[in-house]
Amino acid sequence: MRQQSFRHRGAKSSGIGGSILLIIAAVVGVFVVYQLILWFRSSSAKTIANDVVTAAVDTVDAKASLTTSLNSTAVLKVSDGSSAGTVVRSGTVEVPSYSLVANLVALAPDTMYEAWLVKDGLADVKSVGALNPRADGSWAATFSAKDPLDYPTIVIMLEPNDGDAEPSGNRIAEGRFE
């Protein structure tokens, strides 16, 4: 008897066809893995990019807070607690402006009133200049100072008009920016 072959006409041998299918499967697999790697990297990059954007926004917000308004007033009080005037602080941290008006007594020619900004907890003071008499009998000064938030207290001292740059310690009035 003759054996019959179960091979159909047109069918190819499994050797070449199997190899082609194996190559196609390998190429598809490599492509899928490559796409997964790209997707993972892009999602990681997006996370990193989002973190960078968030940090940049936080920096801008911090910078914006530095340019916020400094509008506040310090009431100048003399030793008995009564008001002697006001100092208005305005502008921004980067460009502060101060306007001081005080009702103080007239001075002898060899003395002057000088305004000082004082840092909390330290012996750090910054002279912002002499007060000038006004026609109405009050004293005034306008000035600017670096680092306005570091110096929340202002003190007016009676100073000898001797050119000494150090404060005399003779406090006349004091106020605090709130």
DSSP string, 90-152: EEBSSSEEEEEEE------TTEEEEEEEE-TTSS-EEEEEE-EE-TTS-EEEEE--SSGGG--
Q: Over its length of 178 residues, how does the chain's per-residue pLDDT go in tens digits?
A: 555 555 555 544 556 777 888 888 888 888 888 787 776 676 665 666 566 656 655 655 555 455 567 889 999 999 899 999 999 999 888 889 999 999 999 998 899 999 999 998 767 899 999 999 999 999 999 999 888 888 999 999 999 988 888 888 889 999 999 8
Residue 33: both structure tokens together: 């893995």
How far is the C-alpha of 177 from the C-alpha of 93, rounded, in Å? 14
Return the H-helix or E-strand segment holding 38: helix 14-66
pTM value is: 0.61
How far is the C-alpha of 125 from the C-alpha of 154, rounded, in Å? 9
What region does 38 belong to: left with phi over 0, alpha with psi -120 to 50, or beta? alpha
